[in-house]
Amino acid sequence: MKTSSSYTAIAYLFLAPALILMGLFTFWPVGYNAYLAFNDYSIVDATATWNNFEHFKYLYHEELFHDALKNSLIFLLVVPVLQVAALLVAKLVNNKLPGMTFFRAAYYIPVITAVPIAGVAWLNVYRYDGLLSWFLKTIGIIQNDVNWLGEPEIAIYMVMVFTFWKGIGYYMVLYLAGLQAIPAEVEEAAILDGANAWQRFWKITVPMVKPTILLCTLLSTIAALKSFQEVVVLTRGQADTYTALYYVYAQAFTNFNFGRASAAGLVITFFCVLLAIVQFRFFGEKK
Amino acid sequence: MANSQIVGSVPSNKPLFAFRKVFSLLAHYAGLVAFAIFTCFPFLWALSVALSMDPSNIWLFPRSFLPTDPGVGWFERVFSEIKFFTYLGNSAIISFWTIVGAVVVSILAGYPLARLRFPGRGLIFIAIIATMMLPQEVAIIPNFVTFKHLGDLSEAVFGFKVTGLNTYSAAVLPYVSTAFGIFLMKQAFEQIPQDLIDAARVDGATEMQILWRVMVPVSAPSIAALSIFTLVNAWNEFIWTGIVIQDKLKMPLSVGMFNDLTGPFAVSTSMVMAGIVLSIVPVLIFFAFTQRYFISGLDGAVK
């Protein structure tokens, strides 16, 4: 039998590849990002020069960054809608009726499609004379074509619809896993006691999948706060659709201002950590 | 749709009025079909437009959901005008190495976290899980700088780029060690009976042998799930990959197709639609064969 000290050596040996890679590509970047936030970085000769809080002062006064933060907060509205819909859809496909495999697959297809590819398809839906305009004109909701991604008042919500469409299958599968862990006897007993579908949903389903609901809410809140791929693909920030991370991306790879981008990134990291702490508190109380 | 959940999976012994049963069954399927149309319509539409040799088909809603003058000419143009097979090959190489790396690293890290007692275990686990909360996207800039330096360094030492910008490894390495993978394997290993491990230890097996001969074979479903998820993520990643790989000959499908489809030379919407259809076909075929693992594999992550 081995002693516990030899287990320690083995444990760290096994963990080494994971920790080295994570250190290099996750922990170090967060630290280096914080360092760059206080510097001017030149991509030409890869040098950094200290410039105090200048980037933060700039961000504090810049309207575009404020709008980006505001849009990221607006984006959080997608979370409750997505979670309720995903749970209902999971309920719909959680039975042994014929064709369920097909429907589950159909709902998962947007998840496995690359964002740019799905985005190009949606660009044709959102075009001013595109599919959405045609559909709403046909059922009489609008009279004239609308450039869905060009109007500052609505463009960000159109991006959110895309996020909803892309993400619902993912959360559906998570909820499905949660639903299938509910023993069939529990629901059978409730039916015998005369509980109707509505009562069964609130008194059995929701409490039983509560851990999954909390997990999914946490995951999708963080995902919503970090959204920017869909902005890259759909609008490139036009029509007031900058999100906080899109701002970082644009500052870094359009303006090549890595310092300012890093400062904005640090602000977002701060918000993410704050949010995670709040949600962990929430988790803790529920347990 | 809300009404249709009246139909549960639970068989009831109580007699129901037949018409009510039929009605709720119909409502259930109506909800399912309506939602399937919502999730699939962009692709069905793309397919129809791509198969229409008449390019004006795209303007003809709702008729454009059926091809006019059907033919595969647009697909032929995608193959001749876009480096489709080059991109496909690059996607395959990048995905393959990401999966191999993620599986090996997650198995190695998951085992001690699940089954060995050692100082620092709790702290390491929290640190790994905490990375889920950090916006990995802010790592793009530092990682870009890191790979620039690594490239310069390897050129100075070896005379050529072992890694660095415009290498496949730049697309692979940041996605190998993930909290999700390590967490999934830890959960899988925790469910294996201790007797199996004790028996192997009595027989004189080393920890490495226990891991690869005892733990890994029993955890095949979780490893399959991890591989599938890694594949989908690696196949679809495009922001980071698009930044580090600027060389057209090394671009994966997601980056190359998006650039070509939305770039200045993409004049024909019909060809764009054909490109969309072609680029999701590999994922769909793969998904068709593995979809049952998606759900069973996620089971472990949720519990």
Put simply, the answer to whether B173 touches A233 (Cβ < 8 Å) is no
| Residue B127 with chain A: CB contacts under 8 Å | 27
> Residue A285 pLDDT more than 70?
no
Q: Are residues B254 and B189 in the same domain?
A: yes
Q: Are residues B46 and B85 in the same domain?
A: no
Q: Yes or no: say if B68 and B298 are a contact pair by the CB < 8 Å rule.
A: no
Q: Yes or no: say if B106 and B179 are a contact pair by the CB < 8 Å rule.
A: no
> Domain tally for chain B?
2
Residue type, A149: L
> Residue B12 pLDDT more than 60?
no
Nearest to A26 among B131, B145, B280 (CB): B131
> Residue B18 pLDDT more than 80?
no
| Residue A200 with chain B: CB contacts under 8 Å | 8
> Residue B17 pLDDT more than 90?
no
> Between A and B, how many CB-CB pairs are < 8 A?
290
| Residue B65 with chain A: CB contacts under 8 Å | none
> Residue B131 pLDDT more than 90?
no
Q: How far is CA B2 from the centre of its chain?
A: 31
Work out the minimum CA distance from A110 to partner chain B, whole angstroms: 7
Structure tokens at B233: 């993520």
What is the Cα–Cα distance from B88 to B249, expressed in whole angstroms?
A: 11
Q: Are residues B287 and B139 in the same domain?
A: yes
Nearest to A25 among B1, B173, B283 (CB): B173
Nearest to A215 among B40, B108, B302 (CB): B302
- Where among B33, B65, B97 does a domain terminate? B65
What is the Cα–Cα distance from A148 to A130, expressed in whole angstroms?
A: 9
Q: Are residues B117 and B232 in the same domain?
A: yes
Q: Is B117 helix (H, G, I), strand (E, B) or coil?
A: coil
Percent of chain A beyond pLDDT 90?
32
Mean local confidence (pLDDT), B139-149: 89
Q: In this predicted structure, what is the pLDDT of residue A158? A: 94
What is the Cα–Cα distance from A80 to A32, expressed in whole angstroms?
A: 34
> Residue A127 pLDDT more than 90?
no
Q: Omega of the bond prior to B112 within 30 degrees of 0, cis?
A: no
| Closest by CA position to A133, among listed A151, A120, A116 | A151
Q: Are residues B31 and B132 in the same domain?
A: no
In a domain, B70, yes or no: no
Q: Is the dihedral of CA B222, B223, B228, B232 positive or negative?
A: positive
Put simply, the answer to whether A108 touches B113 (Cβ < 8 Å) is no
In this predicted complex, what is the ipTM? Answer: 0.84
| Closest by CA position to A29, among listed B196, B284, B111, B142 | B142
- CATH match of A55-283 with 1.10.3720.10: yes
In a domain, B72, yes or no: no
Q: Yes or no: say if A277 and A69 are a contact pair by the CB < 8 Å rule.
A: no
What residues contact B245, with CB distance under 8 A and at least 6 apart? B165, B166, B170, B171, B251, B252, B255
What residues contact A221, with CB distance under 8 A and at least 6 apart? A76, A79, A275, A279
Tell which of B141, B272, B291 to mutate to test the A interface (max A CBs under 10 Å).
B141
Nearest to A177 among B136, B145, B298 (CB): B298
Q: In this predicted structure, what is the pLDDT of residue A88? A: 92
Put simply, the answer to whether A104 touches B291 (Cβ < 8 Å) is yes
In a domain, B244, yes or no: yes
> Residue A282 pLDDT more than 80?
no
Query: Domain containing B189 — which CATH number?
Result: 1.10.3720.10
Mean local confidence (pLDDT), A187-199: 85
Mean local confidence (pLDDT), B26-34: 91
Tokens 């200045």 found at:
B264
| Residue B148 with chain A: CB contacts under 8 Å | 46
B246: exposed, middle or buried (C-beta count within 10 Å: 0-12, 13-18, 19+)? exposed
Nearest to A109 among B39, B104, B255 (CB): B39
- 3-class SS shares of chain B: helix, strand, coil, % to 5: 75, 0, 25
What is the Cα–Cα distance from A111 to B230, expressed in whole angstroms?
A: 13
> Residue B16 pLDDT more than 60?
no
Q: Are residues B25 and B103 in the same domain?
A: no
| Residue A215 with chain B: CB contacts under 8 Å | 302
Domain that holds residue B172: 78-302
What is the Cα–Cα distance from B4 to B69, expressed in whole angstroms?
A: 40
Residue type, B35: F
What's the N-to-C CA distance of chain B in angstroms?
28
> Residue B302 pLDDT more than 90?
no
What's the N-to-C CA distance of chain A in angstroms?
38
Q: Yes or no: say if B110 and A13 are a contact pair by the CB < 8 Å rule.
A: no
Q: Residue A46: left (phi > 0), alpha (psi -120 to 50), or beta?
A: left
Nearest to A106 among B14, B36, B207 (CB): B36
Quickly state the pLDDT bin for A165 (edges 50, 70, 90): very high
B281: closest chain A residue by CA: A113
Q: Are residues B116 and B162 in the same domain?
A: yes
Residue-by-residue DSSP string for B196-254: HHHHHHHTT--HHHIIIIIIHHHTHHHHHHHHHHHHHHHHH--HHHHHH---GGG--HH
Q: Yes or no: say if B142 and A33 are a contact pair by the CB < 8 Å rule.
A: yes
Average pLDDT, chain B: 84
- Residues forming beta bridges with residue B70, ordered by sequence position: B52
Of the listed ranges A274-283, B3-12, B190-199, B265-274, the one predicted with least confidence: B3-12
Quickly state the pLDDT bin for B266 (edges 50, 70, 90): low
> Residue B2 pLDDT more than 50?
no
Q: Is the dihedral of CA B88, B91, B96, B99 positive or negative?
A: negative
| Residue A172 with chain B: CB contacts under 8 Å | none
| Residue B299 with chain A: CB contacts under 8 Å | 177, 180-181
> Residue A119 pLDDT more than 50?
yes
What is the Cα–Cα distance from A11 to B218, expressed in whole angstroms?
A: 21
What is the Cα–Cα distance from B84 to B278, expressed in whole angstroms?
A: 9
Residue-by-residue DSSP string for A150-192: T-TTTHHHHHHHHHHHHHHHHHHHHHHHHHHTS-HHHHHHHHH
In a domain, B178, yes or no: yes
CA atoms within 13 A on the CB side of B242: 20
| Residue A115 with chain B: CB contacts under 8 Å | 236, 238, 254
Q: Are residues B53 and B190 in the same domain?
A: no
Q: In this predicted structure, what is the pLDDT of residue A254? A: 87
Q: Mean pLDDT: which of A35-44, A151-160, B64-73, B103-112 is highest? A: B103-112
> Residue B200 pLDDT more than 60?
yes
Mean local confidence (pLDDT), A177-184: 84
Q: In this predicted structure, what is the pLDDT of residue B81? A: 85
Quickly state the pLDDT bin for B100 (edges 50, 70, 90): very high
Q: Are residues B294 and B229 in the same domain?
A: yes
Q: Are residues B109 and B39 in the same domain?
A: no
| Residue A111 with chain B: CB contacts under 8 Å | 232
Quickly state the pLDDT bin for A86 (edges 50, 70, 90): very high
Residue-by-residue DSSP string for B143-208: HHHHHHHHHHHHHHHHSS-SSSTTSHHHHHGGGTS-HHHHHHHHHHHHTS-HHHHHHHHHTT--HH
In a domain, B154, yes or no: yes
In a domain, B197, yes or no: yes
B58 touches chain A (CB under 8 A): yes
Q: Is A47 helix (H, G, I), strand (E, B) or coil?
A: strand
Put simply, the answer to whether A201 touches B5 (Cβ < 8 Å) is yes
> Residue B42 pLDDT more than 70?
yes
pLDDT in tens, A198-240: 888 888 888 888 888 888 888 888 888 888 889 999 998 887 8
Quickly state the pLDDT bin for B258 (edges 50, 70, 90): confident
Put simply, the answer to whether B109 touches A15 (Cβ < 8 Å) is yes
Q: In this predicted structure, what is the pLDDT of residue A287? A: 40
Q: Longest Cα pair distance anywhere in chain B, in angstroms?
A: 81
> Residue A286 pLDDT more than 50?
no
pLDDT in tens, B206-249: 999 999 999 999 888 888 888 888 988 898 888 899 999 999 89
B243 touches chain A (CB under 8 A): yes
Q: Yes or no: say if B281 and B50 are a contact pair by the CB < 8 Å rule.
A: no
B27: closest chain A residue by CA: A92
Put simply, the answer to whether A261 touches B207 (Cβ < 8 Å) is no
Put simply, the answer to whether B111 touches A14 (Cβ < 8 Å) is yes
